[in-house]
Structure 1
Amino acid sequence: MLPEYSVDIDVDIDWPVAEQRVLRFGYFGLDKPEVVRLLLCNVSGCLTDGRVLISGSGEEMVSVNTRDTMGIRMLQREGVEV
């Protein structure tokens, strides 16, 4: 993203700057937003929080965030290949 289209909001005074940039350039900038057609990710580290759980029988399991999986389902409904 080009610097003129972005602003860091660290303190309250940054909000008017951000608002002016949105009014000037639009929410997505002057260009049309690019369409996502494909999502590639590694499950380990992208969808997990790094925890490994061990079952009573010694089997390793990972914890997956349901918000991530819901986002993937939303992309699939929009026709994005996952």
Structure 2
Amino acid sequence: MERPLPDDLITKAASIRLLALDVDGIMTDGRLYFTAQGDELKAFNILDGHGIKQLRRSGIEVAVITGRSSPLTARRARDLGIQHVYQGREDKEAALRELLSELNISNEAAAYMGDDLPDLGAIMLAGLGISVPNGHWYVREQADYCTEAAGGEGAVREICDLILQAQNKLADLHLTYHSGGATDGA
């Protein structure tokens, strides 16, 4: 059974052709972990990864736009088949504008998910701006939607499911798992 969603949210999500994601605080819990040798560690949520794969299989582009540069982010994007990766981009609105131009997608057909003030311009530009409950209060107030799940704890999957539900693709996708037809990991 699909969950009830507000009509205005369904309308916005129904037209989404691109989901652009911040990394730290969205795809991760926002903490930075370093070893004694200075190596960076990140923990990504497997539920989020599977949701991203489902979106891509359904014809929706997925991108990463992050202010930090990390080989771990590049690897996770590669593992998930995300082709559009913008690292080291402090001006996320400008990066999103470039991506929309490159893909010939209108801002109304884009969703952007971020948690802090550097994400605000991209959230405001996108047709569907999304934040998380562990995000900055001002960003949450400006977003069209704030997930129930926290960043790094299934928030991306929540949005993937929401978009697929609004586009009437989620129920059929779920049925493919009843028959054992879809089994790839994330």
Distance in 2 between residues matched to 1:71 and 1:65, nearest whole Å = 10
Per-residue deviation at 1:69?
1.2
Q: Which amino acid aligns with 2:28?
A: T
Q: Which amino acid aligns with 1:51?
A: R
Name the residue aligned to 1:63: 43
The answer to whether the aligner puts 1:77 opposite 2:41 as a matched pair is no
The structure whose Rg is larger is: 1
Q: 1:62 to 1:28 in 2, by over 3 A?
A: same
Q: How many residues are aligned here?
A: 55
Per-residue deviation at 1:44?
1.4
TM (normalized to structure 1)? 0.53
Higher alpha-carbon deviation: 56-65 or 36-45: 56-65
> Where do 1:36-51 residues align within 5 Å?
36-51=16-31
Contact 2:28/2:45 (<8 A) preserved: yes
Q: Which has the higher contact order (CA 8 A, sep 6+)?
A: 2
Which runs of 5 or more residues in structure 2 are unaligned?
A: 63-186
Question: 1 or 2, which has the higher helix percentage?
Answer: 2
TM (normalized to structure 2)? 0.26
SS of structure 1 residue aligned to 2:43:
strand
Contact 2:25/2:31 (<8 A) preserved: no
Q: Deviations over 1:7-33 (max 9, x none)?
A: xxxxxxxxxxxxxxx7xxxx785xx85
Which runs of 5 or more residues in structure 1 are unaligned?
A: 1-21
